[in-house]
Structure 1
Amino acid sequence: MSALTAVAIDAAAQRIAGVVHRTPVMTSESLDRLLADRIPKGSKPAPKLYFKCENFQKAGSFKARGAANAVAKTLATSDVSGFVTHSSGNHGQALAFAAARFNKPCTVVVPSNAPKAKVSAIAAYGAEIVSVEPTITARKGTCHELAEKRNLAIVDPHDDWDVMEGQGTIAIEMFEQIDGLDAVVLAVGGGGLLGGVAQWFSERHPEVAVFAVEPEGKDLRKSVKAGTRLWDSGAPVDTIADGIRVLPIGEKCFEVVKTLPESAVLTVNDSDIASAWRLIHERLKLVIEPTGAVPLAAVLKYSDVFANFSNIGLVLCGGNVDFVDPLRSK
């Protein structure tokens, strides 16, 4: 049985209120029409899409929620000198932000292939950067070494109950903000966001379907079908969606994720993601990272799956992307 509960997620929402933003939800009639055109005409109105803009969140992604909750809970019960984590960018920024908010130092172990914009942003919050090979083994091993030497608390990017509680607060806001919400679609990497959101809806509003969208090569569906984690600590997934390159779902996260039906796991490729990314840029006029486009990529690719829903919430998970200076081409 999972140690994660809706009660704990509700408490996290109260704990981090005022530390993180209650992000807005945006709509697009143009994207609604695009989806409607892909669904056979019938007596039921076509679904409407609602975009939860975590790209407007503190530190640029939903990760601020989990980091803030973890830091606040740790400091309430432990005398630590600071915090450490491993991250490809977004969680690192989030923990650096949260640690600074509570006047504690932060160290972030970063894979050597992390986007420059994200690494620079981590440093801008005052965190120390430690670069390692881009493998889970190297990242986690370095974290544990630093934690032991410096009396630092490790805040895992996803496989941490406190982090999942914080991420799950998105579910509360979406249900309050979207009338008649009956489906939620989100990208899945390590599983922290999926775990928190799925747990809250399963307890509070099980009528809302939760869909997990994975990049091609992750094979989450196989593990869900088997009811056990089938990955080892292999190389990251090769995808433009850098926020979900991590291959395995965390052990704690999988306790929740394995309860999803196999049909709730959808797979998209880089071409799907790139097309959706461009649509969000052109139609919603929003700056998001490729991972933020993954839910829309799935809705458009599997339009038949979503045809019978009415109000679909999509999590735009972050907006931390490298800026391309147009003057450099001159």
Structure 2
Amino acid sequence: MSNNNVITFSDVLDAKEKISPYVHECPVVTSSTLDKMVGRKVFFKAESFQKTGSFKARGALNAVLSLVAKSPEVHGVVTHSSGNHGQALAWASNMVGLDCTVVVTKNTPKSKCEAIKAYGADLVFCEPTYADRIKICNKISEERSIPYISTSDDYDIMAGQGTIAVEFLNQVPDLDAVIVPVSVGGMAAGIATAAKAIKPAIKGERLWPNPPRFLDSIADGIRVQQLGELTWPIILELVEKEVFSVKDADIVKAMKFVFERMKLVIEPTSAAGVAAVMSERMASMDPGLKNVGVILCWGNVDINHLPWY
């Protein structure tokens, strides 16, 4: 990692070299029906097919491999998560022989909790607030003398997530814009860093503004409506200022479309990007943005509790 408290394109390429033997190069899928609906060509990067069911595996593995290289004596890690980062870190830790503890709120979907345990991690439950997640996580880190690995606000995590853009632009070189769901912002920061280095004219669009609170939303992967201290300067500099906001009803509509017409299983958080493409705001965007990329970032949906039931 660079010494300037930022991530560079070189960091992303280094991450790609480290993690490529262990993660999938996920496919790009399209829908002619959606293209006709929105009047643009839309390309979906299906990170829902990634190890552990989400893009989070990229950043988690890069962070763990970097940690072990810098601190060979480390024996474990801890994090807090809405579920997907927890699964990814548990998987990555198991790959290199580290203990892993994941703090989740009591209302985290059972399917995600079971997956975290199946990857070999210890699970600790807390009250359903972001503050309690942090409090319990910090306590465990101190008591067990193990480092905390952030879901997003970590340069190694960002570099790992940036590998999505390297692959995506290799698969679809003519992309004019990429829509990225944003919570703390690790994926957005990593993708923006890589995409702007490869194609400076490309635009990135955010989905959420930034008050520091949990969103009351079915999209649990982006409920934390607060960019990180490390991700914020990167996103501020590299990402377009246009923000798409979508409602739960829009997310459900988009999720149903992907299930029914594209035959893909995605979480509500992934559907937020699809909803943005289908929105009136997207229709009013620069018509020169002909080729639009969307990250289908998560696929760990609780099939026993689909949001339209």
1:305 aligns with 2:285: yes
**What amino acid is aligned across from residue 25 of structure 1 in structure 2?**
V
Identity of aligned residues (%): 44
In 2: Cα distance, 1:261 partner to 1:57 partner = 25
Contact in 2 for aligned 1:25/1:52 (Cα 8 Å): yes
| CA positional deviation for 1:190 | 1.0
1:272 aligns with 2:275: no
1:76 aligns with 2:54: no
1:63 aligns with 2:43: no
- SS of match in other structure, 2:10: helix
Change (3 A) 1:306 1:239: farther
In 1: Cα distance, 2:298 partner to 2:76 partner = 25
| Corresponding residue number in structure 2 for 1:227 | none
| Corresponding residue number in structure 1 for 2:302 | 322
In 1: Cα distance, 2:187 partner to 2:231 partner = 9
1:21 pairs with one of 17, 24, 40: 24
Contact in 2 for aligned 1:2/1:256 (Cα 8 Å): no
Change (3 A) 1:55 1:259: same
| Corresponding residue number in structure 1 for 2:7 | 4
Contact in 2 for aligned 1:112/1:132 (Cα 8 Å): yes
Cα deviation digits, residues 273-309 of structure 1 (max 9, x gap): 1111111111110000001111111111122215321
In 2: Cα distance, 1:97 partner to 1:73 partner = 15
Contact in 2 for aligned 1:288/1:319 (Cα 8 Å): yes
In 2: Cα distance, 1:319 partner to 1:260 partner = 27
**TM-score (norm. length: structure 1):** 0.87
| CA positional deviation for 1:2 | 5.3
In 1: Cα distance, 2:188 partner to 2:243 partner = 11
**TM-score (norm. length: structure 2):** 0.93
Contact in 1 for aligned 2:205/2:240 (Cα 8 Å): no
Give structure 2 stretches of 5+ with no counterpart: none
| CA positional deviation for 1:261 | 6.0
Change (3 A) 1:196 1:325: closer
- SS of match in other structure, 1:172: helix
Contact in 2 for aligned 1:2/1:255 (Cα 8 Å): no
In 1: Cα distance, 2:179 partner to 2:285 partner = 12
| Corresponding residue number in structure 2 for 1:289 | 267
1:117 pairs with one of 111, 117, 120: 111
In 2: Cα distance, 1:85 partner to 1:195 partner = 20
1:127 aligns with 2:121: yes
| CA positional deviation for 1:204 | 2.8
- SS of match in other structure, 1:49: strand
Contact in 2 for aligned 1:66/1:167 (Cα 8 Å): yes
Give structure 1 stretches of 5+ with no counterpart: 37-46, 221-230
Cα deviation digits, residues 115-145 of structure 1 (max 9, x gap): 1111111111111000011222211222222
Displacement over 3 Å in runs of 4+: 260-263
| CA positional deviation for 1:203 | 2.6
In 2: Cα distance, 1:118 partner to 1:101 partner = 19
| Corresponding residue number in structure 2 for 1:187 | 181
Cα deviation digits, residues 207-240 of structure 1 (max 9, x gap): 11111112xxxx33xxxxxxxxxx44x3x10111
1:172 pairs with one of 153, 166, 181: 166
- SS of match in other structure, 1:20: coil
**What amino acid is aligned across from residue 283 of structure 2 in structure 1?**
S
1:249 aligns with 2:252: no
| CA positional deviation for 1:202 | 2.3
Note the aligned Cα RMSD (angstroms): 1.8
Contact in 2 for aligned 1:299/1:306 (Cα 8 Å): no
**What amino acid is aligned across from residue 271 of structure 2 in structure 1?**
A
